Each structure stands twice: as C-alpha cells, then as structure tokens.
Amino acid sequence: MYYYIEGNLTHKDINIAVIDCGGVGYKLTVSQTTFSKLPELNAKAKLFTHLVVKEDALDLLGFYDLSEKSAFLMLTSVSGIGVKVAMNVLSALTPERFAFAVASGDYRELAIAQGVSTKTGQKIVLELKDKISKDNLSKKSSDDGGFTGQDSGGAVLGISSKNDAIIALIALGYSRVEANNSLKDVDFAQPLEEIIKIALRNLVKN
C-alpha cells in the first residue's frame, strides 16, 4: 500500500514513530534499531513501510532501510514467527548480523533477542537455510562466476571477509554483481559488520 513515508517526525517513543506527511500523522511501529536512527523531532524522516493486516486492526511498520525490511519479511516467512518476534530480532540484531547469523547457522546469535529461545533460533535457521545458507549462497555466487578470492587487480585481499560480506548481502536480497560493486575500495581489515554497513551505504547511494 505504501512503499515509504517521508515527512516531519512529530513524535517518537520506544518502538513508535509518527511522521507528518501532508497534514496526516502516520503512526509506525519500529524496531529499536530503527528508533536509534531517527532524527530529532520536527526534522525530516523517511521510513520504508510494510502494512500488516489483522482481523481487528491495520498496523503500519517502519524500517530505516530496505535491508531491514527484507530481513523482517524473511523472518515472518518462518512458521510461528509473528510481527512481535520479528521486530524483537531486528531490535537486537542489525540486518547484516541477522543475515550472517542465519547464513552461518549461528542460532545462538538469534536467541539473544527477547522472546527468542534457542529452539526458536534453531527453527529460524532451519527454515531459512535454503534461502540464505552459507554453502548455498557460496555455490550460487560461484555458479554465477563469483568468489575468486581476488580483487579486480588479481591480488588476494581479505578473501574471507569479502566472501562473508557478499554472502550476507546476497542473503539480504542483493545480486552478486551489486554486492561486489558495493565492496569496491573497502578496507577488509575492518570487522565484518562494519564492512557490510559500508556496503549497504554504498548500495543506497547507487
């Protein structure tokens, strides 16, 4: 129904943001991650949206970027995972940490979220492994002419970090070509999460 909403941020509280757009105040439920990225009140804000239709209500969710929205949709595709649990996961983990946790089978990382038990973390990994498992994503990239372990100049540079970053970016819905392009001129000596954050910023710019 709505792809994104952009306007003045008139109210914010934990898990809530209200954006005034054309004289209409849209109340959006947000993760704590998105909340932490909101600007000061009365400043311009833009959130990507997803409408949840219930029998007795319509809930509009807001996400600071498309990678978080993609992670949310993947989470809610898991049987038994509803909006509340999905938003709890995204409050505890950034989209890149979520993607890499599932890709590497690290269900304990998912279980740090409120309301997510070890068994629930295992279930998330199990049901999403075919979509974003590390082995399958690596094979997909290899089949497409991917991971060579070299940069464009042929020099080996941060092979493991670059491959892991590409895996996480593909898990978030980007193509291998987009992932590779977003990692140009990135210093792979940095922590993996920082590498992926830089790549996501580059993807938004492009």
**CATH numbers and ranges of domains, the chain:** 4-63 (2.40.50.140), 66-131 (1.10.150.20), 134-205 (no CATH)
Q: 124: which 2 tokens?
A: 């998330």
What totals of helices (H) and strands (E) does the chain contain, helices first?
10, 5
3-state DSSP assignment of residue 159:
helix
Give pLDDT, residue 114: 93
Distance CA 84, CA 191 (A): 30
Give pLDDT, residue 206: 62
Contact 28, 60 (CB under 8 A): yes
Give pLDDT, residue 132: 65
Q: Exposed/middle/buried for 56, CB within 10 Å: 0-12, 13-18, 19+?
A: exposed
Distance CA 109, CA 106 (A): 6
121-125 contacts: CB < 8 A, separation 24 or more? 123/78, 123/79, 123/80, 123/81, 124/75, 124/78, 124/81, 124/89, 125/101
Amino acid (1-letter code) at residue 7: G
Any idea what DSSP says for residue 106? -
Evaluated on CA atoms 2, 65, 206, 134, the torsion sign reads negative
Name the nearest CA neighbour of 138 among 159, 121, 157.
159
Element (H, E) at 30: strand 24-30
Give pLDDT, residue 99: 84
pLDDT per 10-residue tile (average), the chain, 206 residues: 92 95 95 94 96 86 92 92 95 88 88 94 87 48 36 40 79 82 86 84 77
Calculate helix-pair angle for 66-76, 118-132, nearest 10 degrees: 110
Give pLDDT, residue 144: 39
